[in-house]
Structure 1
């Protein structure tokens, strides 16, 4: 009887296949956890003298380049205008518009509490800021001028003694070259860059607070 049962079992295996097919491993369909977004230092960050020197050039050099463009635009049409002509105001208006844009960004960077400048520099930056703020209205008048003559005769505010010396005092404190042209090579678009970085950092900090 036992032999019959065994034979039946053997026959059943022959009909269904002698070996069972291997089962495929069950795949884990659970999603991998999202990588944690690295947190950033909420600040404020104390700038070393070297870091402050680098950031100062980033702050002012793009504006210095535009001052050169502004003066070049005046000179390009000045002789014709003074001789009774009516030169195009386009280049001068464009320089005025760019000056408005750059000074507004510069003021925002100076007001940014994320970085702390060395005390002698922060005191002088107040004068840089006030000078930029005072000149924005005149830049807007140039930007909106209908003619070269109108732009040419826009009056800019007379700087205070502190505003006149602030830039060179900062350069002295930070050990920077007094040459505002040569020292700015390579920083021609730096203000746009650090302003974009500031906006991105502020967004990240805001999101970080909500987590």
Structure 2
């Protein structure tokens, strides 16, 4: 997994430098300031359906890893996408996102579901954080081939873009059969929800919209 971090760090550094030309990006880390080692444990994987005649450069599989080697604080969850690239023999993995937290017990961590009704699924990631906070993150797959930049590094975030993040401190975030995300928040010790919010992902949109 070390090469994943190197690729991802290089891409982020280049993007940061392009957007903020006054920021100096160091090429090396001074001795004694190396980051702690990562010990990534595979949690779950999911295959993305491939449409007939789909071009190279689309995400084929998504994996979730957890850094669980250090017993203090929260875990870090690493969302990794694999895509087949032109001229490559196999899928190339790239880090899409890093989230603090841990997986939800007795629930699917990764799930595919067509939320906007366009015939192709979105990716759903469920995880928790401290104090019972529950998260549901929604990502949209790109249907267009990836375009490499001049340094031959692949920027994966447009290929698997987060279009929604719903959370609640004490409550639940669930997905209904019609693609509606329902967020219920309960008062401490209460049995009836203090609020119920509903969200939908409209076709062609890149963010969830609250609905009545």
Structure number having the greater strand percentage:
2
Q: Which has the higher contact order (CA 8 A, sep 6+)?
A: 1
Pick the TM interval, shorter chain: under 0.3
Structure with the largest fraction of helix = 1
TM-score by length of 2: 0.22
| Bigger Rg, structure 1 or 2 | 1
